[in-house]
Amino acid sequence: MNLAKTLMIQGTASSVGKSTLVTGLCRIFAQEGYRVAPFKAQNMSLNAAVTKDGGEIGRAQATQAEAAGVEPTVAMNPILLKPESDSRSQVIVMGRPLAAMAAQEYYQRRTGFLEIVQQALNTLRQQYDLIILEGAGSPVELNLAHYDLVNMRVAQLADAPVLLVGDIDQGGIFASMLGTLLLLQPEERMRVKGLIVNKFRGEYSLWQPGECLLTTRSGLPVVGTVPFLQDLRIAEEDSVPLEDGSATLLQQRAVAPLEVVILRFPYLSNYDEFDALAAEPLIRVHMIGRQEDFPERCDLIILPGSKNTFSDLSWLWRQGHAQRIRRFARQGSAILGICGGYQMLGERLSDPGGVETEAGTVEVGLGLLPIETIFGALHDKVTKQCQVQINPHVRRGMLAHQVERH
């Protein structure tokens, strides 16, 4: 059986644009008539998507599959890590939760996970003409090289040529590109066939000598300099864009009739699902982490999903957010809780069996709903795709009514 050809995109660091470039390449090759699919062996992300069979994969891989015009499957992201603390993550394998593991335990089970990665990759290679693989972070995290499940080890499994991507907008493009190549092992270095300079702004003619310098110093061609693209609205893979201010949510208009606050929990889940809300011209979204960032007026406060509900509820009280939310609620602001955020609106949360915390943990909720949430391990998590159709006339009428209030 003929297996699909492969191409891998690796980066000099996180958030250099790997996911976006893979998305673009999937669309380009699909338009050229190839049956193409994305693949990321291991993804660490709290932005997850649900496949048709109810499995969970990284939102970025689902977006890449959409760009390729194919149905996303769990084989496109066989291992998904959802951080629950600084040193522990829930491990999703082939779309289903396996266990919560500390990093050391996860690495000790590397061999078994590598076999799962190889099986998923082979499945895709039997179904498609071309697989675009995506790495994670940097391929030269030297302290973790032995445990690699996503960069050069996967390129070797797929016998994939590698294109190395650097972010020129952050500065230091020569150091990041040439330094990465220098630190690769000789056999890994041979897999790199070209360089991509991403997020370029300014006059291209001034950068052309830079391309020549990179080629001269590396011995590799610069196969493309990609301009900085605004307003792509492609799903973010992790929280880095929230930290550096580049997330869609943070690209805000100065004035809007409706003020919406979203609490930025430390273990915030699926924050990119609010991008559509932020795109509304009548709405200004505030992503709030610090109490002093609260606007004077809030028409709606959203408590989003959380991967560690107990920890994030405790954070709400410590930061003074809980008291402020209760005050806004008394003043008539609407409060919306989603998933873990909904649970926080109740009177208390209990974890008698230690599902998410130590056994017996109890946290006092915001007391805005007469409910108590008890964590148990009796049932598996159910994830399903759903479709919602909103009447545009109703939506416009609701927004107009809200604007008239102010």
What are the pLDDT digits (tens) for 287-296?
888 888 888 8
Report pLDDT digits (tens) over 31-54.
999 999 999 999 998 888 999 999
Distance CA 313, CA 296 (A): 23
pLDDT-derived band at 336, boundaries 50, 70, 90: very high
Q: Please give the pLDDT value at position 384.
A: 79
- Percent above pLDDT 90 for the chain: 63
Q: How far apart are the first and last CA of the chain?
A: 66
Phi, psi of 193 (to 5 degrees): -105, -10
pLDDT tens for each residue of 10-37: 999 999 999 999 999 999 999 999 999 9
Supply the pLDDT for residue 84: 85
SS3 assignment, position 38:
strand
> pLDDT tens digits for 253-284?
566 788 999 999 998 888 878 888 888 888 88
Q: Are 78 and 89 in contact (CB under 8 A)?
A: no
If 0-12 CB within 10 Å is exposed, 13-18 middle and 19+ buried, where does residue 353 land?
Answer: middle
In this structure, how many other beta carbons lie within 10 angstroms of the beta carbon of residue 356?
20
Residue 230 has pLDDT above 60, yes or no: yes
Q: What is the pLDDT of residues 146-161, one digit of tens each?
A: 889 999 999 999 999 9
Q: Which residues pair with 97 in a beta bridge?
A: 92
| Residue 9 near residue 165, CB atoms below 8 Å | yes
pLDDT in the model for residue 23:
96
In this predicted structure, the answer to whether residue 388 has a pLDDT above a threshold of 80 is no
Residue 336 and residue 56: Cα distance in Å, rounded? Answer: 24
* Mean pLDDT confidence for 99-117: 91
d(CA 151, CA 136): 6
Q: What is the pLDDT of residue 226?
A: 95
8 A C-beta contact, residue 346 and residue 362: no
Please name the residues in contact with 3: beta carbons below 8 A apart, sequence gap of 6 or more.
122, 125, 126
Which parts of 98-185 fold into alpha helices (H)?
Answer: 103-108, 110-127, 152-158, 173-183
Residue 65: pLDDT above 60?
yes
Q: What is the pTM of this model?
A: 0.79
pLDDT for residue 405: 47
Q: Tokens 């609407």 belong to which residue?
A: 334
- Whether pLDDT at 243 is above 80: no
Q: Which of 58-72, 83-97, 212-226 has the lowest mean pLDDT?
A: 83-97
How sure is the predictor about 185, in pLDDT bands with cuts at 50, 70 and 90? very high
Q: Does 245 have pLDDT greater than 60? A: no
- Flag the least confident range among 87-91, 228-232, 235-239: 235-239
Mean pLDDT over the full length of the chain: 88
